[in-house]
Structure 1
Amino acid sequence: MADKIPDLHAEVRAGTGKGAARQARRDGQVPGIVYGGGVDPLSINLDFNKLLTRLRKGRFMSTLFNLKVEGHDDVRVICRGIQRHVVKDLPIHIDLMRLKRTSRVNIFIPVTFLNEDTCRGLKAGGVLGVVRNEVEMNVLAGDIPDELTVDLAEAQIGDTIHFSDLTVPDGANPVISDRDFVIATISAPRALAADDDDGDDVDADEVPTTEMGPPADPEE
């Protein structure tokens, strides 16, 4: 991951419960909770607009932040949950977990496909079908990778990309470790697939006429 851990600014929330959370939202803030690390949970508020901007940049759930709260020591946190409005799909509550650099955590890391523009299979008309655009990995909190990559340059139509084809940083392990699961496929274009299917069709007048015998005896 990047050398510089981004800051996430928050302030202590006055009061607890639904009433304090509603007031925070009316004031243009998003209520949240910080937990873990062997200390008591801390109720916080984050600026709604700033949080929304970060969410729209992507990878919020897989980013390690340096949480800055006035009156408290800075602490590394990772988001473990975001509640959203059921209609507007906007954040209404956030859960943050304290971490040490040596802590291990399960998070989803996005998969990036390299050299799509020069991929042999795609240039020949193949279609990239993404099965998993992210993979849950067990990683050190201080070494969370930005992405997992796979090089498609030599991939051909009919190829299947598995987890073992990805470039994975040292110390990062898949949570599902008992099988080499599929990440993506490169399939034939629909027109070609349709032509192949047509080759199996046989017109009625191409079938030789034969005299049918009696039905088989079920006891035989």
Structure 2
Amino acid sequence: MAEAKTLAATVRSGTGKGAARSVRREGRIPAVIYGGGDPAEPVTLDYRELNKLIYAGHFLTTIFEIDVAGTKQRVIPRDYQLDPIKDQPLHIDFLRLKVGTTLRVEVPVHFINQEICPGLKKGGSLNVVRHVVEMRVPAEAIPEAITVDLSTLDIAESLHISAVTLPAGCKPTITDRDFTIATLVPPIVVAETPAAAAPAAKGGKVAAKPAPAAAAAKPAAAAKPKK
């Protein structure tokens, strides 16, 4: 489990579109912290810091510790809104993480031992079916990723979720089938174009082209009659 990143927040007094626009003009982002049996709490956060965190990747699976006026709350982002034109963050929803509760998150898949994978060494290609797996996880132990070992995977073989060692307390939300994580496909073989057929030969020699027909002889001049 990754360490929680600390965020400083301030209490947001007003709510609604007008108050949110005022917050953004001050270089901050409106947000709300909810869940855990406590009332929803509107706050604001620094725009530059949150914009950087969102575009760094894995924002929705990162645990944060938000400090609001000296009170720290352990949270995870559940949703955020972006401006449809400028792609700038407009609002963020945070869920409180209480010990003993579980939540549903998408956990990234990491692959190891590619360098000794039999199928890859034979020229095969790894076809990743799932880059993330949706799982039910403990709120106090959200995994950064699940690890998939490729050390025994050969060409035309598949790796299913049953072959993956999952972190303690974590279970896939798909329970009705042993779904595929990745397959190893054979190398692509390109067929060669056959060479053009050689010209037909007669008696072991190439037949010569017929000579052009001789021009037709002009008709003989008619004899003059004797006088």
- TM-score using structure 2 length: 0.79
Aligned to 2:7: 8
Using the alignment, how far apart are the partners of 2:145 and 2:89 within structure 1? 24
Aligned to 1:139: 137
Q: What are the ranges of 5 or more consecutive residues in structure 1 without an aligned counterpart?
A: 199-220
Aligned to 1:174: 172
Aligned to 2:45: 46
Using the alignment, how far apart are the partners of 2:128 and 2:83 within structure 1? 29
Deviation at residue 154 of structure 1 after TM alignment: 1.8
Give aligned-pair identity as a percent: 45
Using the alignment, how far apart are the partners of 1:24 and 1:117 within structure 2? 51
Aligned mate of 1:109, from 107, 110, 130: 107
Alignment of 1:89-168 (within 5 A): 89-168=87-166
Q: Give the number of equivalent residue pairs.
A: 192
Deviation at residue 56 of structure 1 after TM alignment: 3.0
Using the alignment, how far apart are the partners of 1:140 and 1:8 within structure 2? 22
Using the alignment, how far apart are the partners of 1:119 and 1:50 within structure 2? 40
Using the alignment, how far apart are the partners of 1:38 and 1:101 within structure 2? 12
Aligned to 2:183: 185
Q: Comparing 107-116 with 88-97, which one deviates more in the overlay?
A: 88-97
Q: Deviations over 1:7-55 (max 9, x none)?
A: 1221112311001111222222111111112222111111111112222
Aligned to 2:205: none
Partner AA of 1:119 in structure 2 = C
Partner AA of 2:77 in structure 1 = C
Deviation at residue 68 of structure 1 after TM alignment: 0.8
Structure 2 counterpart SS, 1:53 = helix
Structure 2 counterpart SS, 1:41 = strand
Q: What are the ranges of 5 or more consecutive residues in structure 2 without an aligned counterpart?
A: 194-227
Deviation at residue 106 of structure 1 after TM alignment: 0.6
* Contact 1:64/1:141, CA 8 A, preserved across alignment: no
Partner AA of 1:63 in structure 2 = T
More helix by share: 1
Deviation at residue 175 of structure 1 after TM alignment: 0.8
Structure 2 counterpart SS, 1:143 = coil
Using the alignment, how far apart are the partners of 1:110 and 1:26 within structure 2? 35
Which protein is bigger by CA-based radius of gyration? 2
Alignment of 1:50-65 (within 5 A): 50-65=49-64
Q: Deviations over 1:145-192 (max 9, x none)?
A: 11101111221111111111222111111111121111111111222x
Aligned to 1:217: none
- TM-score using structure 1 length: 0.81
Aligned-residue Cα RMSD (Å) equals 1.7
